[in-house]
Amino acid sequence: MPYDGTLVLEYLQKTHETGLLSEREKHLVGLAVTMTRGCQVCTQGRIAKAREAGLSDEVLNALAAVVAAVNAGVAAATAREAFRLADAAAAETCGDACAAGVMAGNTARRGSAAR
């Protein structure tokens, strides 16, 4: 049986029913989300719909720049926190469960930790 996206389409239509955001705002938010999620097909569709709604490529490119800057900030903050945790004693609380060798099925490391 092929995929039936009816429920997803119904949900998308429902989210666009709100009167609290303008159509322009809805297009910009939707496009920002698809860019962030990395879905090229969804982003292409959102760009086409935004253009149909009258948003210029200048506005869409400005949005893309903001999305890229925010994502870069999130990536930098995530890396900074990950390094902090890696250096902290609290990072040891997961024991071997976080070890790459154990995750890949390396039982030798598990066995050595039990000794």
User: CATH number, domain at 80?
Assistant: 1.20.1290.10
Domain count, the chain: 1
Note the pLDDT tens digit of each residue in 27-47. Answer: 999 999 999 999 999 999 999
What's the whole-model pTM score?
0.63
Residue 80 has pLDDT above 90, yes or no: yes
Q: Is residue 72 part of a domain?
A: yes
CB distance 60 to 47 below 8 Å: yes
* Residue type, position 88, single letter: A
Lowest mean pLDDT across 9-13, 35-39, 74-78, 94-98: 94-98
Structural domain includes residue 95 = yes
Q: Is residue 71 part of a domain?
A: yes
- The reply to whether 46 falls in a domain is yes
Mark 22-61 as b/e (b = at least 16 C-beta within 10 Å). Answer: eeeebbbebbbebbeeeeeeebeebbeebeeeebeeebbe
Angle among Cα 9, 10, 11 to the nearest 5 degrees reads 90
Domain range for 110 is 6-114
**Is residue 52 included in any domain, yes or no?**
yes
Q: Summarize the confidence of residues 86-110 as an average pLDDT.
A: 60
Residue 1 falls inside a structural domain: no
Q: Could you tell me if residue 103 is inside a domain?
A: yes
Question: 85 lies in a domain?
Answer: yes
